[in-house]
Structure 1
Amino acid sequence: MAVDETLAGQGRVTVFRMFGTVFGYTTHSLDGRNLGEVAVVGPLTPGVEWGRLWQMARTMCRPSEGDSEHARWIMAQANRSFTCGSDVVVKFPRGTWKLARGKRADLGGYCMRDHLWTGAITVEEVTPDQVAAYEPIYRA
């Protein structure tokens, strides 16, 4: 799917590890209420395309599931890292991020988010060591 626009913001950013890749997770608000109804997730590891996230979801979900279930799986992993601290590399209370959007999905309130936007993400504050690929225990 082609990237359709770039989105930028500042706010809480959780950087977490999963299956050899480092990802960034933040939220975006669609209006002035600042509810963070959009989950923003993408890979930070250099050379990893945003489609890798959806490939992981396809691998980890049942073969009969579609994009809705895959989006919920992605959201669950990001939320698990943010909430529980699982596999967190670093948390930025006020990180500066940019997303070249690649794929959107409706979450319908799952994990307190209405939408999932994925794509190529960058976070200004990360260091090369924080986003480097690593040897995982498990593969997806």
Structure 2
Amino acid sequence: MASGGALTGSSRVTVYVMSGVVFGYATHHCDERRLGDIAVVGPLTPGVDWGRLWQMARHCGRPSAGETELAQWVLTQATRAFVCGSGRIAQFRERTWELQPGGKRVRFESAYANRDHLWTGNLTVDGLTPDQIAERHTFYPA
């Protein structure tokens, strides 16, 4: 489902690189309990559109994968960066971010990686340097 307006938040943020592109992974909360029930993932590299993330999922996932399975792939990569440090550039306990309108939202049937939803779109994170978000050389382009 396409999103309506921009979403802003302040939460934990992981910045990681995958196939040369730098992405951000944050959490958003539906209520004051701050459970982080929504995963927010998007490219931070200038000039890279959020559709590239879904293109990567399609390229790396099963050829017959549906939208939910592709969303699970996206969230798995972000979670791996958060937990294992795979491709991690930076991790912040609290950072302000903004998800631009026009992305894609997927609701999981049941919690996946402790998240009920994945929202993707073009993302910005306060306080990152140009070096942190610059595209990297990769042997595995998507």
Q: If the length of structure 1 is used for normalisation, what is the TM-score?
A: 0.96
Task: Verify the 8 A CA contact 2:27 2:39 in the aligned structure 1.
Answer: yes
The corresponding residue for 1:123 is 125
Q: Supply the RMSD in Å over aligned alpha carbons.
A: 1.2
**1: distance between equivalents of 2:69 and 2:122?**
21
Task: Verify the 8 A CA contact 1:13 1:94 in the aligned structure 2.
Answer: yes
Give a deviation string over 1:58-112, Cα, whole Å, max 9, x none: 0011111111110000000000000001100011111110001410012321101
Output aligned runs, 1:26-65, within 5 Å: 26-65=26-65
Output aligned runs, 1:82-97, within 5 Å: 82-97=82-97
Secondary structure of 1:109's match?
strand
**2: distance between equivalents of 1:98 and 1:139?**
26
**2: distance between equivalents of 1:40 and 1:10?**
11
Structure 2: where are the runs of 5+ without partners? Answer: none
**2: distance between equivalents of 1:2 and 1:106?**
12
**Residue 137 of structure 1: CA displacement?**
2.4
**2: distance between equivalents of 1:64 and 1:88?**
29
Secondary structure of 1:65's match?
coil
The corresponding residue for 1:113 is 115
**Residue 2 of structure 1: CA displacement?**
5.5
Structure 1: where are the runs of 5+ without partners? Answer: none
Q: Which runs of 4+ in 1 moved over 6 A?
A: none
Between the two proteins, what is the percent identity of the paired residues?
55
Q: If the length of structure 2 is used for normalisation, what is the TM-score?
A: 0.94
Q: Write the letter of the residue equivalent to 2:96.
A: T
**2: distance between equivalents of 1:62 and 1:32?**
37
